[in-house]
Chain A
Amino acid sequence: MLESIVVAAIVLAAAAFLFNKWRKTTSPKKGCGGNCDCHKTKL
C-alpha cells in the first residue's frame, strides 16, 4: 500500500513538473525584446 502511494506521488510530481514547465514555456514573458507594437511606438 505504502509502496503504491510513494510511486503514485512520484508520478504525480513528474506530471505536475511537466505541466508547470509547459505553462511557463507557452505563457508570454515580461518584456518584448523590442519586438512588439508598444515598443515600436516608444522608439
Chain B
Amino acid sequence: MKHIALIGNPNTGKTSLFNCLTGMRQRVGNYPGVTVEKKLGTAYLADGPATMIDLPGAYSLSASSLDERVAVDVLSGHLPGIERPDIVVCVIDATNLKRNLFLAMQIAELGIPMVIALNLWDALEQRGLSIDIVELEKRLGVPIVATVGRKGIGISELRDAISKAATQERCLAPMTWPAEVNEAVNNIHCAADGHTAVPLTDMEVRRLLFDANSAVLDRVQSNHEKVRASISEGRENLRKLGLNPMAAEAVLCYKHLDKLLEGVIKQAGDAPNGPDGTESIDKLMLHRFAGLLIFAAMMYVVFQAVYSWAGPLMDLVDGLKGWVQGIVGGWLEPWPMMSSLMTDGIIEGVGAFAIFLPQILILFFFIALLEDTGYMARAAFLMDKLFGWCGLNGKSFVPMLSGYACAIPGILATRTIEDPKARMVTILVTPLMSCSARLPVYVLLIGAFVEPKYGPWAAGLALFVMHIVGLLVAVPAAYILTKFVIKTKPQPFLLEMPSYRLPRMQDVLFRMWMAGKEFVIRAGTIILAITVIVWALLYFPRPAGLEDEVTKEFYAEHIEPNPASASLLDDPDSELSVELSNTIDAAYINQSFMARIGKAIQPVFAPAGFDWKITVGVVASFPAREVIISTLGVIYSLGGDVDEESPDLMTTLSNATWKEGPRAGTPIFTLPVVFAIMVFFALCQQCGATLAVMAKEIGWKWVAGSFVFQTSIAWLGAVLVYQLGTAILS
C-alpha cells in the first residue's frame, strides 16, 4: 500500500482536506496546536487504497518544536513504525502562496514526489485574486490542484493527481544554492564523515548550517568540536556575503520564490473591503480594551447558555432515571442486596452523572463554534500580554484554552511550544483550567443552592466565575514558576490569524457528538465501576443485630410515648414508617466502611465545612473528579435521604442536615460550604488520566510536585472561602 503524507503550514485547512480524502473525521481547528499528534487514515485512490498520515502543521523543517520534529521524522523515514512516504501532498494556503511555498521548497530537498493542493481557493477568489495554475505547474514541475477542503471542492481532482504522481514520480525542483553554501555543506560533510550512524544528507547538513540549535547535531556521535568549527566557518563565509546565517535560508529562498512566482498571481476582480472583512472585525476584536471586554462577555454568554439551556433536557434524563429505577426495583424486590446495588448504586450513581450530558453537549457546541469561526486565535493574541507578564506568551494560552475542554489534549498541544522550560510551565498550569469534568459539579451545586435563592442570572454568573478561578491561580503560579523555579526567558510570539469564516455545522455537530460519546462511555465504564465499589463500601458491613437495635430505639423514642401511633407502622407509606426506614438506612450507612474512612479523614476537611459524606465524595473523586456526583448520589440514596420530597440529588442536598454534633439540625450545604466545595474542585488535581499524561511528558517527579501543590492550594482555597464566607454571612 502506498504511503502519503499530508503537510502544510498551520491554518491551511490541512485537517479538513485529510478528512475529505480519508473520510475519517477529526477536529478542525483554527489555531496552531490542533494537530499535534500524528493521525492516520486510508485514502481510496483510483489505483487502490493508500495510507495517509496527517502531519502536524509546520512553517519550516527546522524542527524547533516537538511537533515539527515529528513532521521532519516522518518525511525522512526516522519515525519508528511509520514508513517514509511515497508521496507528499503539500497543502498551501492559496492566499499566502509565497510564504507557504517556503516549506514546499524545503520538502523538495528530500526528493519525495509531491502534489500541491492550493487550498482556501474560495478565500483567494473573495479577495479578487487568481493564480495561473497551468503556469505555476510548469514552473514548479509538480501537479497542482485548487481545493476548498471545508466544502469538499477539488477533492476528486486531488485524488487523481495523487494517483498520477505516484506513477510519474514528479518532484519539486529544489532551489540552487550559492557556491558559498555548497562549499560550507561539503566542509561539514567532511567533518561529520564517519561520526554518524547513517551518513547525513545534504538537507540535514544545511539544517546544521542554518538552524541555531539543530536537532541534527544530536546524530553526530563524536567529534562535535570539528563539526562545530566547520559550521562556524561556513556561517562566517555567509556573513562575508552579507547574509545573516540564521536568516540566510529564508532570504535566499524568498528571492528564488520571487522570481518563480512572477506574474503567476493575478487580479481577477475587485476586493472591496480588503481581505474578506477580517481586518475590520479584528480592529474591534483585537482592541486592547474592547477586545478583552468582548472576550469576557462572550465567555459569560457561553456559560449562561450552558446553564440555562440544559434544564428541560436534564429533566428528561432525570425522569428516565426514575422510571428505570422503578422498573428495576420492582423486578429485584425479592433480592434486597441486588436491588440496592442496582437502584441505589448503579442507576442512582450513573444516572446522577448522566444527567449532565446536555451541559457537556452545549459547552462543546460553543467551543467548536468559536474554534471554527477563527476566534480562538484572537483569544490567544489577547492573552499574550497577560501571559507575557507571567513569563509565558500567547502560545501557552492555546493549550490552556484546550484545557477548558479537557486537560489531556491541552497538555499534548504544548508540543507546539519551542522553549522546553516554557512548555514545562504550561504543562504544570494547564490542569488548573476548568475542564468539562468540573462542569457537572458546578451545575449540581449552583442549581441546588445559587439559582433557587438568587435566580438564573446569578447562577450563570457563578458558573462563569468558577471557570476563571483556575485561571486566576494559574497566572501567579506561572509567574512564580517562571521567575523562581524554572526560570524561563521571554519568548517571541508569532501567531497567524486565520480569516473569520462561517462554521460548518457538520463539524460543530461532530464535535458535540464526539464529546457526548466520550461522556457516555465514561459513564458506562469508569463511573460505573467506581460507583459499584463506592456502593459496596457504603453497603457493607451489615451487622445482624443493627436493624433490631435501631427499631427498638425508635419504638422507645416515638411509639412508647404515644402507643396509638403503632398502627401507623402497618402502612409502609405512612410518615412514621418512612422515618423508621430512613433511620435504619442511616444507621447502616453510618457504620459502613466508607463512613469509617470518611470520618477518619473528615477532620482534615472540617475547616472547609465538609461533613464526612462530602469528604467521602472528595476522596473518591481523586481518580476522576466527576465521581463526586455519583458518590453523593449513592450516599444519599443508600442513607434513605432520597424520597418523594427529595426526588433528585439537588433537592436531597438542599434538605441535608447535620445529624449530630453542635450543628445538629442545621443545613450541611450552606452557601460558604457550596463555594468551598466548588473552589476545591476548581483547583484540585483530581484526574488520574491527566497525571499519567503529564508524567509521560515531564516525568513523575514534577507530577508529584504538581499534585501536592494543586491539592494544597485547593484545600487552602476551600478553607479560605468557607471561613471568610461564614464570617461575612454571620
CB atoms of A43 and B73 under 8 A apart: yes
With A18-B530, A28-B696, A31-B80 given, is the CB distance from A43 to B338 under 8 Å? no
Q: How far is the CA of A18 from the CA of B688 in the complex (A)?
A: 11
Count of A interface residues, CB-CB < 8 Å: 25
Contact among B72, B529, B696 for A18, CB-based, below 8 A: B529
- Residue among A18, A21, A25, A43 with most chain B CB within 10 A: A43
CB atoms of A7 and B526 under 8 A apart: no
- Secondary structure at chain A's binding surface: helix, strand, loop or mixed? helix
Q: How far is the CA of A19 from the CA of B331 in the complex (A)?
A: 31
CB atoms of B688 and A25 under 8 A apart: yes
CB-CB < 8 A to B696: which residues of A?
A: 28-29, 35
For A29, give the chain B residue with the smallest CB separation: B696
CB atoms of B37 and A33 under 8 A apart: yes
CB-CB < 8 A to B79: which residues of A?
A: 34
Count of B interface residues, CB-CB < 8 Å: 36
Residues A1-43 near B (CB distance < 8 A): 3-4, 6-7, 10-11, 14-15, 17-18, 21-22, 25-26, 28-29, 31, 33-35, 39-43
CB-CB < 8 A to B216: which residues of A?
A: 43
Q: How far is the CA of A8 from the CA of B533 in the complex (A)?
A: 11
Q: How far is the CA of A28 from the CA of B695 in the complex (A)?
A: 10
Selected interface stretch from B22-30, B62-70, B362-370: B62-70
B692 interfacial by beta-carbon distance below 8 Å = yes
B337 interfacial by beta-carbon distance below 8 Å = yes
Q: How far is the CA of A6 from the CA of B341 in the complex (A)?
A: 11
Residues B371-405 near A (CB distance < 8 A): none
The proximity string for B residues 199-237 relative to A, scoring 1 for CB distances below 8 Å and 0 otherwise, is 000000000000000011011000000000000000000
CB atoms of B697 and A14 under 8 A apart: no
Q: How far is the CA of A14 from the CA of B73 in the complex (A)?
A: 41
CB atoms of A25 and B692 under 8 A apart: yes
Q: How far is the CA of A39 from the CA of B73 in the complex (A)?
A: 9
Q: How far is the CA of A14 from the CA of B536 in the complex (A)?
A: 11
B335 interfacial by beta-carbon distance below 8 Å = yes
Report the minimal beta-carbon distance from B19 to chain A, rounded to whole angstroms: 22
For A15, give the chain B residue with the smallest CB separation: B533
For A38, give the chain B residue with the smallest CB separation: B80
CB atoms of A6 and B81 under 8 A apart: no
Q: How far is the CA of A35 from the CA of B529 in the complex (A)?
A: 33
B146 interfacial by beta-carbon distance below 8 Å = no
Interface residues of B (CB under 8 A from A): 37, 63, 66-67, 69-70, 72-73, 78-81, 215-216, 218-219, 335, 337-338, 341, 415, 525-526, 528-530, 532-533, 536, 623, 688-689, 692, 695-697
6 contacts between A and B (CB under 8 A): A3-B338, A14-B533, A34-B79, A39-B73, A43-B78, A43-B216
Other A-B pairs beyond A3-B338, A25-B689, A26-B692, 6, CB < 8 Å = A3-B337, A7-B337, A15-B529, A18-B623, A22-B623, A43-B72
